[in-house]
Structure 1
């Protein structure tokens, strides 16, 4: 690798990958569970489809709002920490050098050398050095609120549309098995794709996502069947 070549790591994907995987998983599991629960109550196919569409719209908006608020709160905390660190650098520069050097020394750098490393890094960009090594803040792991919100909404809708399509195609008498089966297959594939994109082993994520999806749909179907018999 040349000295000027930038090496790309999978951690750079963590912001959008997290939102995408969570959005698609929730879209499939929550929408399919709602549809299976309503279908198990012996209602009409049209009611099941309306339930799925309502779940898609409501879930997409909820995911977008929740992700935006969550990531925005994280960004606010990071900005507050950076502002405090900037004030400390302006008022007590020597103490901040020692603080950064102590961090390097704890990681195994010889004490005298750790002071030199801290001083050199702070000459170049003192705030960035403290943000990275003291606060653990970097561009690679800081998600964008709007990007996270839009990604969550879009991927939730993409996941939710699949059980809806299964219900549209399947006859009423096999609607529940069709939605259940399609959702499990897609969940397993999604687990594999997410693991692959993140550079992780694929089998465990596939099983984990499929098992929890099956539990969610089975519980909802059971509740739907019980309510359908009692009303």
Structure 2
């Protein structure tokens, strides 16, 4: 295969487009999926546990709504703090790289060439590539190879926080509504079915986002949710009996 054969196909293929902002978008998409998953499991545990202790729909609803509100705020705040810390680190590293490029341009060029040489390029080719990329955008070249950061795709804490908080709320509403809107005798069973279906969906989506096996992710998600509901129901039933 010659260079002329490869040239027309340079760039990502149709099944793997990587547009600008891909990393940041993937970051908040994963936050949304995890938020929804946590909302489903934690709220299902609360309402199932409450149902094990009492048949009072008002008490179950109050417990579920309180859990939804607390969980959504906790998820949003936690995600904001986590991604803000990551963003601060990225910005600090980029600023350090800018300073080094201003103060030690020759040393930085040699460092970049060394990084490409470590990837398998000959010393001559590594220096040539480093020189060309430095002339085009020195910061971007160093950030990508040395730091693994795209200066134009810095993580957004607000995107992740809102995605996590809203998705948690949506996920939490599924077990909450299925429990309080269904008749007493069927509330727990319907909630379990709704939760299993919802967890299967979030497991499949998370697997697709992470390019992993969907069946394994779905089975793990569903098994974890069923275990959580079984434990909380047993605890609720035991406490309800003791208190009653």
* Fold shared per TM-score above 0.5: yes
CA distance in 2, matches of 1:99, 1:87: 15
CA deviation after TM superposition for structure 1 residue 33, in Å:
0.5
Instruction: Answer yes or no: is 1:44 the counterpart of 2:56.
Output: yes
Pairwise CA distance, 1:5? 9.1
Q: Which residue pairs with 1:174 in the alignment?
A: 186
Aligned partner (choices 127, 133, 145) of residue 157 of structure 2: 145
Equivalences for residues 1-231 of structure 1 within 5 A = 8-9=17-18, 12=23, 13-138=25-150, 142-231=154-243
Q: With structure 2 as the length reference, what TM-score do the two structures score?
A: 0.87
* Contact kept? 1:17, 1:194, Cα under 8 Å: no
For residues 43 and 205 of structure 1, what CA distance do their matches in structure 2 show? 34
Bigger drift between 128-137 and 53-62 goes to 53-62
After superposition, the Cα gap between the structure-2 partners of 1:4 and 1:223, relative to the gap in structure 1 and judged at 3 Å, is: closer
1:174 to partner: Cα distance: 2.7
TM-score by length of 1: 0.91
Query: What is the rounded CA distance, in whole Å, between the counterparts of 1:4 and 1:199 in structure 2?
Result: 20
User: For the residues of structure 2 that align with 1:152 and 1:144, how far apart are their CA atoms?
Assistant: 12
Q: Which runs of 5+ in 1 are unaligned?
A: none
Q: Which runs of 4+ in 1 moved over 3 A?
A: 1-7, 9-13, 139-142, 196-201
What are the ranges of 5 or more consecutive residues in structure 2 without an aligned counterpart?
A: 1-7
1:118-157 deviation digits (Å, cap 9, x = unpaired): 1111111111111111001126864311111111111111
RMSD, aligned α-carbons: 2.2
For 2:26 and 2:153, locate their aligned partners in 1 and report how far apart those are by CA, in whole Å.
7
Give the secondary-structure state (helix, strand or coil) at the position aligned to 2:196: helix
Mapped to 2, the partners of 1:215 and 1:101 lie a distance apart of: 53
Contact 2:60 2:180 in 1 (8 A): no
**Count of aligned positions:** 231
Would you say the 8 A contact 1:63–1:152 is kept in 2? Answer: yes
Give the direction of change, closer, same or farther, for the CA distance of 1:230–1:16 in structure 2 (3 Å limit). Answer: same
Distance (whole Å) between structure 2 residues aligned to residue 206 and residue 139 of structure 1: 35
Structure 1 residue 194 displacement after superposition:
3.2
Report how far residue 213 of structure 1 moved.
1.2
Which sits farther off after the overlay, 24-33 or 3-12?
3-12
